[in-house]
A and B are shown apart, each in its own frame.
Chain A
């Protein structure tokens, strides 16, 4: 109840309102552009958040995520090209409805299902986050080390078809995190006499480089024109009868979206396909699926928007980003000196309540902005690709320079983009690298401080109850993932490419 009151206080804050509205608008535009994922859309905003107040910055980024999940369904329905990975399931029936001249209704169902999914996800986020983080007071250096290990264990589910490559990527991130000043002794490491490297490499440079710049580099050789949107649909909402029919698939989407969002590494893509599948299984109109079923849009769209909210549960409670988008959001927290995890709710409760309020505004605002932005999205999707690429490149370079007014930062970002490009080529997932980078400091400093406290006795990690519990969970996480891979190998089933779809 107290939480609701504190959230309500922020609802009247014009700054939060503006940040949420701007985030949703930018997110819809970014999500609507095929090839620009929600994480890239968010990464492009990261440099702008430096000058903002922490609450506004976090609300802006989180609202972008919400907007992008809906935006992805626009090209999915209109040109059979999902703007985001999670919108791939919407293509199946959305495009069929478009062919039948019902594009407006398909977009309307997608929009209002997204709003419902967001509101349900937000409710679950508020209900689940704080209790999970309430163990905060019991956290000691060994527990923080174990928390870092738990965060790194997520790599097991984010590594696509090769666990070893996932670990290589994570080690690369951990190595980058060692550049700069040593967290315990203050000695310089890997700075090569450069004053620019003394404070280490800011995660934002690596994130923008790996996510956005590497995408531009990959698309550099693409000379295809892309499909144009020829129709000019108007959003149309379903009548009462159809709305009642859609309630069940929407509740399936909300439930699966919540579950998949809370599980690090699962993500919106898996949630939307699972929801589509379950909605078809339980539907009274099974025969309509694949031929333009409104239920086939409602379930996945509710699910991927619920994920956009519930994916914040492991991030806020434990500081563990389970997807590319939440990794970028973590970058936003770190820029402002906020460390998501157990202490966030006590040290920066104001930011958390502001975030909840912003997400509520974003969910409601999605309904209005989604209608208003449709013509703009269609215009943007139809722009020639060379101009879009040029503008995104210019935006990245300008944004990165604006952080520290440093040309060195631009060089680091380009280098990270190049590394990301080759990682993509060698099929090495780069989300584990980002995880290693953001968790590297926590893991190393907590490990060494624990040893100083215990007089170099490693058993401190097992005698501390919270540490032991977290290490056991981390072990189960890795063992479960390895077990599943072994089972897939025995049954000759390909492992899921979670790293590519975990937006």
Chain B
């Protein structure tokens, strides 16, 4: 039952429903045009809900017609592992966002380069440190010196 199509349908229904709750919460004013700020969002929400139902129903009908339950092992093979690895990479990105203001851009980006390299399978060693420092120096030169972007200074605020 839990085929990718069915899950897609459920996801669309959930998004549509949550969006509709907020769309109906939008304030209206006597000065609004006939459609108003909530008109199009409500239409989008309902369409999403209906499409989600159609996809989920289509998936169920497909399985009933085929007469056999889908092999979920094949349908979702390797996806759990993918999600876990992706979550790890996202966590590194989130840590970067939380740490950049305190550590400053050069340190944070050097740590990010080293952490992602290690996470993606590079062997720990001097090369990782060199990649972190060298890459950070290159990116700092491009963004701060060449493009003039004001990157967070963090620890380097006094410099």
Q: Which A residues have a C-beta under 8 Å from some C-beta of B?
A: 48, 51, 162, 164-165, 167-168, 171-172, 174-175, 178, 182, 184-185, 187, 189-190, 216-218, 220-221, 223, 384-387, 389-391, 393-395, 397-398, 401-402, 405, 407, 410-411, 414, 417-418, 421-422, 425-428, 444, 447-448, 451-452, 456
The reply to whether B116 and A389 contact each other, CB–CB distance below 8 Å, is: yes
Question: B149's contact among A162, A184, A405, A422, by CB below 8 Å, is which?
Answer: A405
A-B contact count (CB 8 A): 173
Question: B12's contact among A51, A168, A407, by CB below 8 Å, is which?
Answer: A168
Q: Which B residues have a C-beta under 8 Å from some C-beta of A?
A: 4-5, 7-8, 11-12, 15, 19, 22, 26-27, 29, 31-41, 44-45, 47-48, 51-52, 54-55, 58, 78-79, 81-86, 88-90, 92-94, 96-97, 100-101, 105, 109, 112-122, 131, 135, 139, 143, 147-151
Provide a sorted-by-A list of 5 A–B residue pairs whose CB atoms are within 8 angstroms. A185-B36, A190-B22, A390-B113, A393-B112, A410-B96
Residue of A whose beta carbon sits closest to that of B98: A407
Interface of A: prevailing SS: helix
Nearest chain A CB to B36 CB, angstrom units:
7
The reply to whether B85 and A220 contact each other, CB–CB distance below 8 Å, is: yes
Bound-state Cα–Cα, A216 to B47, Å: 31
Contacts A168-B8, A217-B89, A391-B135 given; indicate if A185 touches B37 (C-beta within 8 A). yes
The reply to whether B27 and A187 contact each other, CB–CB distance below 8 Å, is: yes
Most buried by B among A168, A411, A421, A452: A168
The reply to whether A174 and B44 contact each other, CB–CB distance below 8 Å, is: yes
Contacts of B84 in A (CB 8 A): 221
Contacts of B47 in A (CB 8 A): 167, 171
Question: B7's contact among A187, A390, A397, A426, by CB below 8 Å, is which?
Answer: A426
The reply to whether A407 and B120 contact each other, CB–CB distance below 8 Å, is: no
The reply to whether B143 and A402 contact each other, CB–CB distance below 8 Å, is: yes
Residue of B whose beta carbon sits closest to that of A452: B33
Question: A221's contact among B27, B41, B85, B97, by CB below 8 Å, is which?
Answer: B85
Bound-state Cα–Cα, A223 to B82, Å: 11
Contacts of B147 in A (CB 8 A): 48, 51, 402
Nearest chain A CB to B118 CB, angstrom units:
8
Contacts of A216 in B (CB 8 A): 89
The reply to whether A185 and B33 contact each other, CB–CB distance below 8 Å, is: yes
Bound-state Cα–Cα, A385 to B131, Å: 13
Contacts A218-B82, A401-B151 supplied; 4 other A-B pairs, CB < 8 Å: A386-B119, A390-B113, A398-B143, A418-B86
